């Protein structure tokens, strides 16, 4: 563990953290494509994660996301998630946690105020703009659930291909990146925008950027330091001071 990176974190007034699939993979969470095994292997990812695919086959897509929810029920936050949550408990005003993950492991570890750029797989929302009759608590059980008055369908609360990121999360993440002294980029390949652009925004604004990853990423050249290894091993050391 480079002492310079530890010193940057220790002295930072504001820290922004961007996490991706790599930190959850350490808990055994399969990636989107890795989860497509067995029966689900016959379907294209684009058909399971687009509005058009859901409208064409709502039961199939709903059951696919229920399958993924069931997979997540058997995993737990790892030492990386717990180190971030512990740091936030000790320094609640110094850290903003931004994630591309939809699995809720940061929240289960105890992190609060997590900015979920790609939504939350355990939350639902209406497919179409809800009318006065649409209440999620009163949706009729089904595959998917629906409003018994207007027929509006319930969909998973994740961001599908071609959809914009949640505006509130993005509008909070951008100033956090712009105003931080250090940005930690953890377990992301850095290939998905606009999330990956947050690291570049932070560097342009003068922050130190530290990448924590088991493999090379597209953001390594943006970083001031690259820590090669598992988040569960490196983050407890980096955030302990």
| Residue 40 burial (10 A CB sphere; 0-12, 13-18, 19+) | middle
Per the annotation, the verdict on 118 as an active-site residue is: yes
Closest CA to 209 of 239, 234, 178, 233: 178
Name which of 169, 146, 159, 205 is nearest 96 in CA terms. 169
Long-range contacts, stretch 167-175, CB < 8 angstroms, 24+ apart: 169/98, 169/115, 169/116, 169/117, 170/117, 170/194, 172/96, 172/115, 173/16, 173/96, 173/98, 173/115, 173/117, 173/198, 174/198, 174/201
From the candidates 67, 81, 106, 118, which is the catalytic residue?
Answer: 118
Catalytic residues: 118
């Amino acid at each position: 563990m480079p002492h310079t990176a530890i010193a940057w974190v220790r002295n930072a007034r504001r820290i922004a953290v961007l996490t991706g699939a790599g930190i959850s993979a350490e808990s055994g969470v399969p990636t989107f494509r890795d989860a497509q095994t067995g029966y689900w292997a016959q379907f294209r990812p684009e058909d399971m994660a687009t509005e058009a695919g859901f409208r064409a086959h709502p039961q199939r897509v709903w059951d696919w996301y229920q399958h993924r929810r069931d997979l997540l029920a058997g995993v737990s936050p790892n030492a990386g998630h717990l180190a971030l949550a512990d740091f936030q408990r000790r320094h609640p005003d110094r850290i903003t946690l931004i994630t591309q993950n939809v699995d809720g492991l940061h929240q289960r570890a105890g992190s609060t105020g997590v900015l979920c750029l790609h939504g939350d797989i355990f939350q639902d929302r209406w497919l179409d703009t809800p009318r006065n009759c649409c209440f999620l608590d009163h949706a009729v059980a089904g595959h998917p659930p629906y409003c018994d008055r207007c027929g509006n369908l319930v969909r998973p609360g994740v961001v599908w291909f071609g959809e914009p990121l949640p505006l509130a999360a993005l509008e909070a993440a951008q100033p956090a990146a712009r105003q931080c002294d250090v940005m930690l980029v953890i377990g992301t390949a850095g290939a998905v925008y606009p999330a990956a652009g947050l690291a570049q925004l932070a560097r342009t604004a003068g922050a130190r950027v530290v990448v924590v990853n088991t493999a090379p990423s597209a953001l390594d050249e943006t970083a001031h330091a690259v820590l090669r290894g598992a988040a569960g091993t490196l983050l407890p050391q980096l955030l302990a001071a």
